[in-house]
Amino acid sequence: ETGVTQTPRHLVMGMTNKKSLKCEQHLGHNAMYWYKQSAKKPLELMFVYSLEERVENNSVPSRFSPECPNSSHLFLHLHTLQPEDSALYLCASSHERSGANVLTFGAGSRLTVL
Amino acid sequence: GQSLEQPSEVTAVEGAIVQINCTYQTSGFYGLSWYQQHDGGAPTFLSYNALDGLEETGRFSSFLSRSDSYGYLLLQELQMKDSASYFCAVKRNFNKFYFGSGTKLNVKP
């Protein structure tokens, strides 16, 4: 248990489904992140929320929609996904203050799009 | 934008020393991090260098040369449990971290 909890751990969905991934942290951090991890590719930064404001939307397709209702919770809403979106989605958090250089990751949500 | 390059795979024997290199190109560079990820696990933080030089934490050391846009992770006295993927990551403004594609380290008996 890293202090960052992601649910569900595994998700299979069809291309027309709508689902959400959830991330929760109780570390007192105030920045949260979504990363996508595919085989043989770098971890791709998707979204960054700092103090509940989105500060990065890294050219992510609109079929991915993030939501950060408070500093402890982060969601990734999914709709009309494509098979190439199948990947491990990792949530991370950090504390945004000078010298805060550590990301704490959750275990990830393994998404399969059929 | 940014790009990071690191070898895709390295093999070493137990008890040996291995160095994993990382070269990067980015604007707004704040520092270089290293993370370890075992198969099926989450990435975990190993080290962070903001200034040039060597940082040592137990068996692991990390080095940064900002002028060369280069860093490395040094693992000493390798153990079987060190078999994992190792990622370098650059930190940019607003606490954004961009990762390389990882180096798979295989430790053999």
Compare B93 and A6 and report the one with higher pLDDT. Answer: A6
Q: Contact A41/B101, CB-based, under 8 Å?
A: yes
Name the residue in chain A with its Cα closest to that of B43.
A105
B33 touches chain A (CB under 8 A): yes
Instruction: Copy the structure tokens of residue B63.
Output: 């080095």
**Model confidence pLDDT, tens digit, residues A44-54:** 999 999 877 77
Name the residue in chain B with its Cα closest to that of A57.
B96
Q: Contact B33/A103, CB-based, under 8 Å?
A: yes
A66 touches chain B (CB under 8 A): no
Q: How far apart are CA B91 and CA B20, in angstroms?
A: 18
Which of B44, B95, B101 to mutate against chain A (most A CBs within 10 Å)?
B95
Q: How far apart are CA A13 and CA B88, in angstroms?
A: 32
B101 touches chain A (CB under 8 A): yes
Mean pLDDT of B64-90: 97
Which of B4, B49, B97, B98 to mutate against chain A (most A CBs within 10 Å)?
B97
Q: Are the CB atoms for A14 and A111 separated by under 8 Å?
A: no
Which has the closest alpha carbon to A55: A81, A31, A90, A80? A31
What value does the mean pLDDT of chain B take? 95
Mean pLDDT of A27-41: 90
pLDDT at residue A99 greater than cutoff 60:
no
Name the residue in chain B with its Cα closest to that of A6.
B42
Region of poorest pLDDT, from A39-48, A62-71, B18-27: A39-48
**Vertex A109 angle, CA A106 and B1, to 5°:** 75
Q: Contact A96/B96, CB-based, under 8 Å?
A: no
Mean pLDDT of A56-82: 91
Q: How far apart are CA A23 and CA B106, in angstroms?
A: 31
Which has the closest alpha carbon to A64: A72, A74, A73? A74
CA distances from A90 to A24, A43, A49, A64, B56 (A): 12, 9, 14, 14, 28
Q: pLDDT band for A100, please (50, 70, 90 cuts).
A: low
Mean pLDDT of A74-100: 88
Q: Distance, in angstroms, between B4 CA and closest chain A CA?
A: 9
